[in-house]
Chains A and B, each alone.
Chain A
């Protein structure tokens, strides 16, 4: 499934759940990920690479559950970077990319929820 366009009934059918449940999960995902993004930003700011990797793992897992792989991959890149090189400039850049993907996803999904 592509994150850039939404067909709720199709996405729900793909996951073998009802469109209503998909919407509930998507709303929970948006809410939880918003909190996780703030936590992630704070962890990057205080250069806590262990926590950055953990939060990115959580975001990636949640996104992949809903088969949002573009978002999931962006989170995994942060996880990889934080674990190998700490919170360097690349993590800041990758966080910017993740935030953009998430905002775009949020903007596109919101009208359907």
Chain B
């Protein structure tokens, strides 16, 4: 004999809970009502019933899950469970779980009432075996194809979610977990039973993280929200990426939580970052050494010039030393951009113009820089010869264009040529090139150097002597 007095009735339909409550109270039982699976678990926690009457189909934690949870918990596994189902006809081929004491089809109310009272009375008398493993009242119902299809599609959906490599949780409007897939069990190292009905944010130890997650849930709109890209969400040894999205606004509110384990990804990202930092450090070291070497070469040339007794040798050595310094300047400017493969040529030219302007300030030579106001990205291998050409031409102008004059202006222009390419020009308002440099064979070493650099990048040089001297360098489409 089993004494049954307190009965918990769980159904999301108020019509059904009222009807069953009335029927059971009239029969002398004490009834407690719960309208959701979560409320049912809370009610059991508060006061253990002698029997639970549970609706099969409910939103979020359905009857099947409530029964499973109650059966698994040691303190509630002895509660007799009666399942009442509105889809019993469609589930006729599905075996009834062994821990369900009786499975009743939702038949018309008069019949349901008498069946229910009979079943409870039989359970009180310990006749459990009469009801195990079968659906009672099913024979009077007709299977509805539509419900069968709906059940099948739900089963399919559940198997997809179960097979997902990511953790999937569903939480309700109060933040309680109503569903968890196997991967979520692994992530939190908790079984489904331990996860369901637990507050989602309580799964995390840090108070700061909990409030961050609560804020994200509270402010969740139509667009999904993602947290943890920075590796800040940690569960045990795992780093998680958590996405929230509203399944529907309710009622009942349903939020899907997707948990991606990014531990490996995060580690590899951190390793890449550390390698990049190491590379930057090495590069800076190499740049530093190159600069030191250039400095040493410049110093040796200076010493050699000072030690030489031949004026021609002194001149040649001094010019070479000046060129090494030019290369150092270009190298410095390039290193300052922080870019190593492609650089913005206009920014590079502007910086170089500023440097050269400072250099020539004492000689009262003004440099004017007309560089197009657009970013033109070119390979570093193109930028270096352009820098050397510019440096050589401006230095030449400062040395030879204004002989016998107090002041002068060197204008540097870089612009689109109207043919899809770019042109660079260095012009001065000086005395013009001496007549004897008209022939290429008579050009000085500086001009030969300029031509060699131009050839290296496929540029063409023309010289305009109509007013002062203008060097026009057709760079073509130097971006490629």
Chain A positions near chain B (C-beta within 8 angstroms): 14-17, 21, 24-25, 28-29, 31-32, 35, 39, 42-43, 46, 48, 50-51, 53-54, 57-58, 61-62, 64-67, 76, 79-80, 83-84
Contacts and interface: CB of A to CB of B under 8 A. Distances in A.
B109 A57 contact: no
A67 B108 contact: yes
Interface stretch (B144-152, B269-277, B306-314): B144-152
A69 B149 CA distance: 22
Interface string B122-166: 000000000000000000000010110110010000000000000
A14 B12 CA distance: 24
Most buried by A among B15, B86, B108: B15
A72 to B, nearest CB: 11
Contacts of A58: 12-13
A57 B57 contact: yes
Q: Interface residues of A: mostly helix, strand, loop or mixed?
A: helix
B110 A80 contact: no
Interface residues of B, number: 25
A62 B333 CA distance: 80
Interface in B370-409: none
A46 B13 CA distance: 24
A32 B15 contact: yes
Nearest to A46: B248
Interface string B17-57: 01100100000000000000000000000000000000001
A66 B248 contact: no
A84 B19 CA distance: 33
A21 B248 CA distance: 34
Given A17-B22, A48-B248, A83-B153, A61 B59 contact: no
Nearest to B12: A58
Nearest to A42: B249
Lowest 7 A-B CB distances belong to which pairs? A16-B110, A80-B146, A28-B14, A61-B86, A15-B109, A29-B15, A62-B15
B460 to A, nearest CB: 64
A47 B354 CA distance: 64
Contacts of A50: 153
A17 B109 CA distance: 9
A29 B13 CA distance: 9
B146 A83 contact: yes
Given A16-B110, A61-B86, A83-B153, A25 B13 contact: no
Contacts of B57: 57
Given A54-B59, A83-B149, A15 B110 contact: yes
Nearest to A77: B146
B6 to A, nearest CB: 22
Nearest to B250: A39
B18 A51 contact: no
10 contacts: A16-B113, A17-B22, A25-B19, A42-B249, A50-B153, A54-B59, A62-B16, A65-B106, A66-B15, A83-B146
Contacts of A76: 144, 146
B22 A21 contact: yes
Given A28-B14, A61-B86, A53 B150 contact: yes
B147 to A, nearest CB: 7
B251 interface: yes
Contacts of B248: 43, 46, 48, 51
A66 B147 CA distance: 20
Contacts of B22: 17, 21
Nearest to A79: B146
Contacts of B16: 62, 65
A103 B146 CA distance: 26
A42 B13 CA distance: 20
A57 B404 CA distance: 102
B19 A65 contact: yes
Nearest to B17: A28
A41 B139 CA distance: 35
